Amino acid sequence: MSLAKRAAVVTGSTSGIGLAYARALAAEGANVVINGFGDKDAIEKERAGIEKDFGVKCLYDGADMSKPAEIAAMIGNAEKALGSVDVLVNNAGIQFVSPVEDFPIEKWDQIIAINLSSAFHTIRAAAPGMKARKWGRIINTASAHSLVASPFKSAYVSAKHGIAGLTKTVALEVATFGVTVNCISPGYVWTPLVEKQIPDTMKARNMTKEQVMNDVLLAAQPTKQFVTVEQVAALAIFLCSDAAANITGANISMDGGWTAA
Protein backbone atom coordinates (compact mmCIF):
# COMPACT_ATOMS: atom_id res chain seq x y z
CA MET A 1 0.00 0.00 0.00
CA SER A 2 2.59 2.51 -1.14
CA LEU A 3 0.09 5.38 -1.45
CA ALA A 4 -1.78 5.07 1.84
CA LYS A 5 -2.88 8.53 3.09
CA ARG A 6 -2.20 10.07 -0.31
CA ALA A 7 -4.99 11.65 -2.33
CA ALA A 8 -5.25 11.46 -6.10
CA VAL A 9 -7.31 13.19 -8.77
CA VAL A 10 -7.66 11.44 -12.12
CA THR A 11 -9.35 13.41 -14.90
CA GLY A 12 -11.38 11.46 -17.43
CA SER A 13 -11.62 8.39 -15.22
CA THR A 14 -15.15 7.15 -15.82
CA SER A 15 -13.85 4.95 -18.63
CA GLY A 16 -10.83 3.36 -20.27
CA ILE A 17 -7.31 4.22 -19.15
CA GLY A 18 -8.48 6.75 -16.53
CA LEU A 19 -10.63 4.22 -14.72
CA ALA A 20 -7.69 1.80 -14.66
CA TYR A 21 -5.45 4.53 -13.16
CA ALA A 22 -8.07 5.29 -10.49
CA ARG A 23 -8.47 1.65 -9.54
CA ALA A 24 -4.69 1.07 -9.46
CA LEU A 25 -4.12 4.14 -7.27
CA ALA A 26 -6.90 3.00 -4.92
CA ALA A 27 -5.36 -0.48 -4.80
CA GLU A 28 -2.22 1.22 -3.46
CA GLY A 29 -4.29 2.85 -0.71
CA ALA A 30 -4.86 6.32 -2.17
CA ASN A 31 -8.16 8.13 -1.77
CA VAL A 32 -9.27 9.16 -5.24
CA VAL A 33 -11.44 11.64 -7.06
CA ILE A 34 -12.79 10.28 -10.29
CA ASN A 35 -14.03 12.59 -13.06
CA GLY A 36 -15.61 12.34 -16.47
CA PHE A 37 -18.88 11.94 -18.27
CA GLY A 38 -21.22 9.00 -18.65
CA ASP A 39 -24.31 7.31 -17.34
CA LYS A 40 -25.05 8.46 -13.77
CA ASP A 41 -25.78 4.99 -12.42
CA ALA A 42 -22.76 3.44 -14.12
CA ILE A 43 -20.48 6.12 -12.62
CA GLU A 44 -21.95 5.61 -9.16
CA LYS A 45 -21.38 1.87 -9.52
CA GLU A 46 -17.70 2.44 -10.40
CA ARG A 47 -17.28 4.94 -7.53
CA ALA A 48 -18.88 2.67 -4.93
CA GLY A 49 -16.97 -0.30 -6.36
CA ILE A 50 -13.63 1.44 -5.79
CA GLU A 51 -14.53 2.19 -2.15
CA LYS A 52 -15.70 -1.36 -1.56
CA ASP A 53 -12.88 -3.14 -3.40
CA PHE A 54 -10.02 -1.13 -1.88
CA GLY A 55 -11.32 0.37 1.38
CA VAL A 56 -10.51 3.95 0.37
CA LYS A 57 -12.58 7.10 -0.12
CA CYS A 58 -13.65 7.66 -3.69
CA LEU A 59 -15.45 10.84 -4.73
CA TYR A 60 -16.92 11.72 -8.11
CA ASP A 61 -16.56 15.22 -9.57
CA GLY A 62 -18.35 15.89 -12.84
CA ALA A 63 -16.24 18.96 -13.78
CA ASP A 64 -16.09 19.58 -17.51
CA MET A 65 -12.43 19.63 -18.55
CA SER A 66 -13.16 22.29 -21.15
CA LYS A 67 -14.23 24.75 -18.41
CA PRO A 68 -11.36 26.36 -16.45
CA ALA A 69 -13.54 27.48 -13.51
CA GLU A 70 -14.96 23.96 -13.03
CA ILE A 71 -11.42 22.52 -13.16
CA ALA A 72 -10.14 24.90 -10.48
CA ALA A 73 -13.18 24.13 -8.32
CA MET A 74 -12.58 20.38 -8.70
CA ILE A 75 -9.01 20.67 -7.37
CA GLY A 76 -10.15 22.97 -4.54
CA ASN A 77 -12.95 20.62 -3.56
CA ALA A 78 -10.59 17.61 -3.63
CA GLU A 79 -8.14 19.40 -1.33
CA LYS A 80 -10.96 20.26 1.06
CA ALA A 81 -12.55 16.80 1.05
CA LEU A 82 -9.39 14.67 1.09
CA GLY A 83 -6.89 17.04 2.74
CA SER A 84 -4.54 17.33 -0.25
CA VAL A 85 -3.98 16.47 -3.87
CA ASP A 86 -0.73 14.51 -3.93
CA VAL A 87 -1.13 12.68 -7.22
CA LEU A 88 -2.62 14.40 -10.23
CA VAL A 89 -3.27 12.38 -13.35
CA ASN A 90 -4.30 14.40 -16.39
CA ASN A 91 -5.99 11.91 -18.61
CA ALA A 92 -9.26 13.28 -20.04
CA GLY A 93 -9.14 13.24 -23.79
CA ILE A 94 -11.22 13.08 -26.93
CA GLN A 95 -10.44 12.41 -30.57
CA PHE A 96 -11.74 13.66 -33.88
CA VAL A 97 -10.56 12.45 -37.27
CA SER A 98 -10.85 14.58 -40.41
CA PRO A 99 -8.71 16.06 -43.18
CA VAL A 100 -7.39 19.43 -41.98
CA GLU A 101 -9.33 21.48 -44.53
CA ASP A 102 -12.65 20.04 -43.29
CA PHE A 103 -11.70 19.94 -39.60
CA PRO A 104 -14.52 21.73 -37.73
CA ILE A 105 -13.19 24.78 -35.89
CA GLU A 106 -15.22 23.96 -32.77
CA LYS A 107 -13.72 20.43 -32.69
CA TRP A 108 -10.21 21.90 -32.86
CA ASP A 109 -11.01 24.23 -29.94
CA GLN A 110 -12.61 21.43 -27.92
CA ILE A 111 -9.68 19.03 -28.38
CA ILE A 112 -7.10 21.69 -27.45
CA ALA A 113 -9.20 22.59 -24.38
CA ILE A 114 -9.79 19.04 -23.11
CA ASN A 115 -6.59 17.28 -24.20
CA LEU A 116 -4.14 20.12 -23.45
CA SER A 117 -5.43 23.21 -21.63
CA SER A 118 -7.21 21.20 -18.92
CA ALA A 119 -3.81 19.91 -17.75
CA PHE A 120 -2.54 23.48 -17.46
CA HIS A 121 -5.57 24.38 -15.33
CA THR A 122 -5.32 21.35 -13.00
CA ILE A 123 -1.56 21.76 -12.57
CA ARG A 124 -1.94 25.48 -11.93
CA ALA A 125 -4.40 24.71 -9.13
CA ALA A 126 -2.67 21.65 -7.62
CA ALA A 127 1.02 22.65 -7.81
CA PRO A 128 1.03 25.13 -4.87
CA GLY A 129 -0.15 22.43 -2.42
CA MET A 130 2.34 19.88 -3.74
CA LYS A 131 5.20 22.36 -3.47
CA ALA A 132 4.18 23.36 0.06
CA ARG A 133 4.05 19.69 1.17
CA LYS A 134 7.29 18.92 -0.73
CA TRP A 135 5.82 15.86 -2.43
CA GLY A 136 3.80 15.35 -5.52
CA ARG A 137 3.39 13.29 -8.64
CA ILE A 138 1.92 14.70 -11.83
CA ILE A 139 1.33 12.20 -14.60
CA ASN A 140 -0.03 13.28 -17.96
CA THR A 141 -1.42 10.80 -20.45
CA ALA A 142 0.19 11.90 -23.69
CA SER A 143 0.34 9.47 -26.62
CA ALA A 144 2.62 8.10 -29.31
CA HIS A 145 1.07 11.09 -31.07
CA SER A 146 3.12 13.35 -28.76
CA LEU A 147 6.16 12.11 -30.69
CA VAL A 148 4.94 11.27 -34.19
CA ALA A 149 1.94 12.25 -36.32
CA SER A 150 -0.76 10.43 -38.25
CA PRO A 151 -2.80 12.08 -40.98
CA PHE A 152 -6.29 13.46 -40.20
CA LYS A 153 -5.57 14.01 -36.48
CA SER A 154 -4.29 17.59 -36.56
CA ALA A 155 -5.87 18.76 -33.30
CA TYR A 156 -5.08 15.59 -31.33
CA VAL A 157 -1.44 15.44 -32.47
CA SER A 158 -1.00 19.15 -31.73
CA ALA A 159 -2.52 18.80 -28.25
CA LYS A 160 -0.41 15.75 -27.44
CA HIS A 161 2.83 17.40 -28.61
CA GLY A 162 1.74 20.32 -26.42
CA ILE A 163 1.26 18.21 -23.33
CA ALA A 164 4.77 16.77 -23.75
CA GLY A 165 6.09 20.34 -23.70
CA LEU A 166 3.97 21.29 -20.70
CA THR A 167 5.29 18.21 -18.87
CA LYS A 168 8.93 19.20 -19.42
CA THR A 169 8.35 22.84 -18.48
CA VAL A 170 6.54 22.15 -15.22
CA ALA A 171 9.05 19.40 -14.32
CA LEU A 172 11.82 22.02 -14.40
CA GLU A 173 9.80 24.49 -12.34
CA VAL A 174 9.03 22.06 -9.48
CA ALA A 175 12.20 19.95 -9.60
CA THR A 176 13.51 21.00 -6.18
CA PHE A 177 10.18 20.53 -4.40
CA GLY A 178 9.91 16.73 -4.40
CA VAL A 179 7.39 16.92 -7.21
CA THR A 180 7.89 14.94 -10.42
CA VAL A 181 6.07 15.56 -13.68
CA ASN A 182 6.05 12.96 -16.43
CA CYS A 183 3.98 11.83 -19.33
CA ILE A 184 3.11 8.35 -20.46
CA SER A 185 2.79 7.87 -24.19
CA PRO A 186 0.76 4.80 -25.05
CA GLY A 187 0.36 3.45 -28.52
CA TYR A 188 -3.06 2.02 -29.30
CA VAL A 189 -4.85 0.91 -26.14
CA TRP A 190 -8.14 -0.91 -26.60
CA THR A 191 -10.65 1.53 -25.04
CA PRO A 192 -13.91 3.24 -26.10
CA LEU A 193 -11.85 6.16 -27.49
CA VAL A 194 -10.17 3.87 -30.02
CA GLU A 195 -13.34 1.96 -30.82
CA LYS A 196 -15.24 5.19 -31.51
CA GLN A 197 -12.75 6.54 -34.06
CA ILE A 198 -13.02 3.47 -36.27
CA PRO A 199 -16.13 4.64 -38.23
CA ASP A 200 -14.58 8.06 -39.02
CA THR A 201 -11.30 6.49 -40.07
CA MET A 202 -13.24 4.05 -42.29
CA LYS A 203 -14.82 7.07 -43.97
CA ALA A 204 -11.67 9.21 -44.19
CA ARG A 205 -9.59 6.36 -45.67
CA ASN A 206 -12.36 4.47 -47.46
CA MET A 207 -11.58 1.23 -45.60
CA THR A 208 -13.44 -1.62 -43.91
CA LYS A 209 -13.39 -2.03 -40.12
CA GLU A 210 -10.89 -4.92 -40.39
CA GLN A 211 -8.63 -2.85 -42.65
CA VAL A 212 -8.65 0.04 -40.15
CA MET A 213 -7.80 -2.30 -37.24
CA ASN A 214 -5.02 -4.18 -38.99
CA ASP A 215 -3.66 -1.73 -41.57
CA VAL A 216 -4.04 1.56 -39.65
CA LEU A 217 -4.11 0.90 -35.91
CA LEU A 218 -1.96 -2.17 -35.39
CA ALA A 219 0.09 -1.44 -38.52
CA ALA A 220 1.99 1.09 -36.44
CA GLN A 221 2.56 -1.27 -33.55
CA PRO A 222 5.37 -3.79 -34.19
CA THR A 223 4.13 -6.10 -31.41
CA LYS A 224 0.76 -6.33 -33.27
CA GLN A 225 -1.01 -6.13 -29.92
CA PHE A 226 -3.08 -3.42 -28.29
CA VAL A 227 -1.58 -2.03 -25.06
CA THR A 228 -3.80 -2.82 -22.05
CA VAL A 229 -5.18 -0.25 -19.62
CA GLU A 230 -3.66 -2.25 -16.75
CA GLN A 231 -0.18 -1.94 -18.27
CA VAL A 232 -0.53 1.85 -18.51
CA ALA A 233 -1.83 2.08 -14.93
CA ALA A 234 1.04 -0.06 -13.62
CA LEU A 235 3.54 2.41 -15.10
CA ALA A 236 1.74 5.28 -13.34
CA ILE A 237 2.02 3.44 -10.02
CA PHE A 238 5.75 3.00 -10.59
CA LEU A 239 6.06 6.74 -11.32
CA CYS A 240 4.44 7.40 -7.92
CA SER A 241 7.02 5.28 -6.09
CA ASP A 242 10.17 6.48 -4.33
CA ALA A 243 12.20 4.46 -6.85
CA ALA A 244 10.95 6.89 -9.52
CA ALA A 245 11.82 10.08 -7.60
CA ASN A 246 14.47 10.98 -10.16
CA ILE A 247 12.32 10.37 -13.20
CA THR A 248 10.97 13.78 -14.11
CA GLY A 249 10.29 15.64 -17.32
CA ALA A 250 10.24 12.30 -19.11
CA ASN A 251 7.99 11.15 -21.91
CA ILE A 252 7.78 7.39 -21.45
CA SER A 253 6.57 5.36 -24.41
CA MET A 254 4.43 2.26 -24.02
CA ASP A 255 3.64 1.69 -27.65
CA GLY A 256 4.71 -1.83 -28.63
CA GLY A 257 7.71 -0.36 -30.46
CA TRP A 258 5.71 2.09 -32.63
CA THR A 259 8.01 5.11 -32.18
CA ALA A 260 11.18 3.00 -32.51
CA ALA A 261 10.44 2.52 -36.19
Alpha-carbon separation of residue 62 from 35, 44, 226 (angstroms) = 5, 12, 29
Which of 56, 94, 157, 220 touches ligand NAD (CB under 6 A)? 94
Q: What is the smallest separation between the CB atom of 143 and ligand NAD, expressed in angstroms?
A: 4
Applying the rule CB under 6 A, the residues between 135 and 154 that interact with ligand NAD are 141, 143
Would you count residue 75 as binding ligand NAD (CB under 6 A)? no
Which of 117, 167, 191, 221 touches ligand NAD (CB under 6 A)? 191
| Closer CB to ligand NAD, 3 or 233, in the complex | 233
Our CA dihedral for 172, 134, 66, 21, rounded to 10 degrees, sits at 100
Q: One-letter amino acid identity for 188?
A: Y
Which of 36, 68, 136, 256 touches ligand NAD (CB under 6 A)? 36
- Checking phi first, is residue 166 left (phi over 0); if not, alpha (psi -120 to 50) or beta? alpha
Would you count residue 253 as binding ligand NAD (CB under 6 A)? no
Burial class (CB in 10 A: 0-12, 13-18, 19+), 46: buried
Tell me the Cα Rg of the chain. Answer: 18
Active site residues: 156
Would you count residue 188 as binding ligand NAD (CB under 6 A)? yes
Q: Which runs of E-coded beta strand occur in 19-110? A: 31-35, 58-61, 87-90
Which residues make up the interface to ligand NAD (CB under 6 A)? 12-18, 35-38, 64-66, 91-94, 114-115, 141, 143, 186, 188-189, 191-194
